[in-house]
Structure 1
């Protein structure tokens, strides 16, 4: 399929130079759109007095947010050529079967002519194939009325998009493999619809048998391929017969029903896996076609990440569960951070901070960890950021070292540039309560290149106790009526000023760990909580 081949003609006078030139380097501003999260836990971006005009940066972020969320008329209105922008953005995303793009803004810079340039990374999920990643730049100019607008040009959509070149998506049709669960039962897309994105990506014995395709740059006039921008799927396929998975038909059915009943039409995803070996029992996505959010999503994990932060603090005896760590409503670290619903718990213990998910308390402990320590703990003990081979394409997490104190504060509560998905957070939960990381697996015989260190038994005991207390008297008390000794952690992850927060919940019972995200679910307990409750109520057993 081809995207629209309109070009834009920018008319009008050159925008005037800025009246006042700000000096200094702008702190990088990270966007996480559609399947990600902004690092704010406060009331909005922290405005600085140096660098490019903050109004220009806000306009760039708003444009990217609208584009990622599919609000194309709104995105186009933020440009100097709305009609053309709307046509091109629509044809680019629909023509290339792109859904749920994630657009991440980087450091803004001011050019000599007063233009503000905002580079960004585009991660474009191509339906049923994979993610196309590239980098581009947004130019912004101040208009005569003092407002900033994106200076429209085709190349901002992609650097190689032009009046002479466009992109074309080509798919190679392949027969999906027959998929069976751990007991040999056939898993059909009709009976288990949310497995659709997973089954399309499965391969037998590591050889891809799912869909294949490519995005080509072609000459607009002749259609001749000039270069291949992205290629998806294996080039050669060997028929190895039915694909035997680690999935459990009973758990998968319970997961499907839970999402259908409680996702409320919102984008959501869920993973359940065995704690003792990492074998995946259920993978569910809502909607049931398109992007595999459960394994390949890139989201800020929000307060569920406090499991890792707590581990880092407990490992070095930087805090103990009974230590008093005050929980005020607000804490300013370059910007103002706050707790959900402006809650506060004066004189709270660290255990209370965990069970009530106090952002400000965790942020106040940031100086007790080195700048790279959280990332090192995530990688060394939890395998996050290492290369995973689960039997299907997956995103394996990212925990970059913070670039400043504000970002370090955000990373303590699972925001900033920390990225995960339900697969990662189910694995994190399993590791926390067992002490040992097991590379998750969806098929047998996967290559395992990970290398981790077991958590000390004392740390595991403390984590299990705090997770249990979160259910018996904390933010996950909605699970307290279920049988079994359940431990859990809720999470609320901010996305952008224009979107509601994502809701998270992770839990464990018996030999199973689960993780669920609901996009724009507002709170974890309110949105993901009913889904996990339904799953654990209907699950056939705890896979001992």
Structure 2
């Protein structure tokens, strides 16, 4: 049912790259920037932080994110200097559509009275190289003109100061040799999506954002690196790709996209190894690993796991599915459908948004954030062997945001990599950090297994979604296939993003298609063809 959407960095030795293209750097405020995927809102502030200070910090970040740099600057205590610096910060870095997410504010007492400090997380897409993610903090103080952000260079980035600036150094990579999970060579000609993911075929841009001395230009540090490295000792890059599944994924995307953007990831349920990663267009931006999307109703897999594990519902519990439910705003279902007297099982398999909104009081405000981290590994950094953007499950700042988050909206941010992992965890009970490049040193992510009874219930719900619910598009695929659909609104009047997550006996897979009508109608045919081809030709290794 309709929901309300509000570089490759290998864990190996690094070498310094020669500069082929150097662009200078002190923040390119492109006037065309748009707020990405819904309204910006921070985590709920502690009571000791003045609400006015928190609102000012959020408004500053929202204006900066939207590209209205003059409005952002007016919220500081030094508007002229702030606007000049915001416009020059990323000049030459080719950054567009930043995503700035505030965290929980804290009260700060000073000589001028109580103020606040508000941390935030920045995601800066750098051209087609990847996403530069970092954290910083705003200080807010009361002035004669009211609450204002105290202007200081480190609020933009911790390493930006009067002595340092940033610059982007780029080059084209040499051709990269790579092998699949069985040690067989894989090529750009056979697997065009792996050009952007791994750098196959050579000629792929790579580079780094450097911290340099403002006067001498001397490099002092590297803020972020993008792009492929050669294998150790010049050897081939050893991947976990299953060539047959990869080929089937690329073929299915090419057959059904009709020019739309898309991303797909398939992982082994028993290990988290990535057996396929494909994008539309093939060789374009790696949406599968680096996209940031609201997951829509596919997130109900996680919400259901939390509710079932807590005993807040059972599949047989009655949870009505009305046409509308208002929690600060009006939530509804596809075509304002309803299921009077519905069971939770019916709510899940037919993807009823209003039923999930009605259950918001059975979970604490931070419960989804904690549950997603403890059981699904979402929160800590993942290392797959290539550049990826981690999913985010912020603590909701209001009842409205909490209601939206339960069915995959609000400020939730995921991508096909994260949702393939979520699906694998849900149907196995155990989180395995996804891996694409063998030998990658992965940080430890401490998680707890899901209760076995919850896993059994989730598998049953997802199987019923295929046989009797919104994922009937997969009903003809042989074997025990389970799934969950999702449709996320990009804007109130625009097209949706269509999602589908699914599993068979070996893999879990997630697909998102932009500019779609629904998950079942857009991502459904892609996964149907992929899973059917796998069922007809054996498993992934």
The two structures have a TM-score, normalised by structure 1, of 0.73
1:385 counterpart residue number: 379
Q: Taking structure 1 as reference, are residues 364 and 279 closer, same or farther at Cα in structure 2, changes over 3 Å only?
A: same
Confirm or deny: 8 A CA contact 2:350 2:465 kept in the other structure: yes
- Bigger Cα displacement from structure 2, 418-427 vs 440-449: 440-449
1:415 counterpart residue number: 409
2:528 counterpart residue number: 533
The reply on whether 1:507 has 2:493 as its aligned counterpart is no
Residue by residue, what CA displacement relative to the aligned partner does 1:404-432 show, whole Å, maximum 9, x if unpaired? 32222122112222222111111111111
SS in 1 for 2:383: coil
1:102 counterpart residue number: 99
1:252 counterpart residue number: 246
Q: Taking structure 1 as reference, are residues 124 and 58 closer, same or farther at Cα in structure 2, changes over 3 Å only?
A: closer
Shift of 1:63: 6.9
2:190, 2:491 → 1: CA distance? 36
1:125 counterpart residue number: 125
Of 330, 333, 342, which aligns to 1:339?
A: 333
Of 297, 304, 307, which aligns to 2:298?
A: 304
1:437 counterpart residue number: 431
Shift of 1:104: 4.6
Q: Taking structure 1 as reference, are residues 460 and 335 closer, same or farther at Cα in structure 2, changes over 3 Å only?
A: same
- Bigger Cα displacement from structure 2, 92-101 vs 181-190: 92-101
The reply on whether 1:230 has 2:214 as its aligned counterpart is no
Of 462, 466, 469, which aligns to 2:461?
A: 466
Q: What pairs with 1:138-537 in structure 2 (closer than 5 Å)?
A: 168-200=167-199, 211-215=206-210, 224=217, 230-232=223-225, 238-289=232-283, 291-448=285-442, 449-497=444-492, 499-537=494-532
Q: Taking structure 1 as reference, are residues 262 and 107 closer, same or farther at Cα in structure 2, changes over 3 Å only?
A: farther
Structure 1: give runs of 5+ residues left out of the alignment. 9-30, 41-49, 68-74, 81-87, 109-117, 138-153, 203-208
SS in 2 for 1:257: helix
Shift of 1:488: 0.6
Residue by residue, what CA displacement relative to the aligned partner does 1:317-366 show, whole Å, maximum 9, x if unpaired? 11111111011122122222222332211111101110111111011111
Q: Taking structure 1 as reference, are residues 360 and 96 closer, same or farther at Cα in structure 2, changes over 3 Å only?
A: same
The reply on whether 1:543 has 2:539 as its aligned counterpart is yes
1:488, 1:357 → 2: CA distance? 11
Shift of 1:489: 0.3
1:235, 1:516 → 2: CA distance? 27
SS in 2 for 1:239: helix
2:538, 2:95 → 1: CA distance? 38
Shift of 1:246: 1.0
1:2 counterpart residue number: 23
1:251, 1:7 → 2: CA distance? 41
Q: Taking structure 1 as reference, are residues 311 and 171 closer, same or farther at Cα in structure 2, changes over 3 Å only?
A: same
Shift of 1:59: 10
Shift of 1:107: 10
SS in 1 for 2:487: strand
Structure 2: give runs of 5+ residues left out of the alignment. 1-21, 42-49, 74-84, 106-117, 139-152
- Bigger Cα displacement from structure 2, 267-276 vs 438-447: 438-447
Residue by residue, what CA displacement relative to the aligned partner does 1:421-449 show, whole Å, maximum 9, x if unpaired? 11111111111112222222213344451
2:70, 2:250 → 1: CA distance? 39
Residues paired across the two proteins, number: 488
Residue by residue, what CA displacement relative to the aligned partner does 1:386-415 show, whole Å, maximum 9, x if unpaired? 333322233332222223322221221122
SS in 2 for 1:502: strand
Q: Taking structure 1 as reference, are residues 403 and 328 closer, same or farther at Cα in structure 2, changes over 3 Å only?
A: same
SS in 2 for 1:291: coil
Confirm or deny: 8 A CA contact 1:4 1:91 kept in the other structure: yes
Confirm or deny: 8 A CA contact 2:28 2:86 kept in the other structure: no
2:237, 2:159 → 1: CA distance? 39
Shift of 1:189: 1.9
1:235, 1:543 → 2: CA distance? 30
Shift of 1:267: 2.2
Q: Taking structure 1 as reference, are residues 437 and 228 closer, same or farther at Cα in structure 2, changes over 3 Å only?
A: closer
SS in 2 for 1:304: helix
Q: Taking structure 1 as reference, are residues 418 and 201 closer, same or farther at Cα in structure 2, changes over 3 Å only?
A: farther
Confirm or deny: 8 A CA contact 1:128 1:290 kept in the other structure: no
Shift of 1:534: 2.4
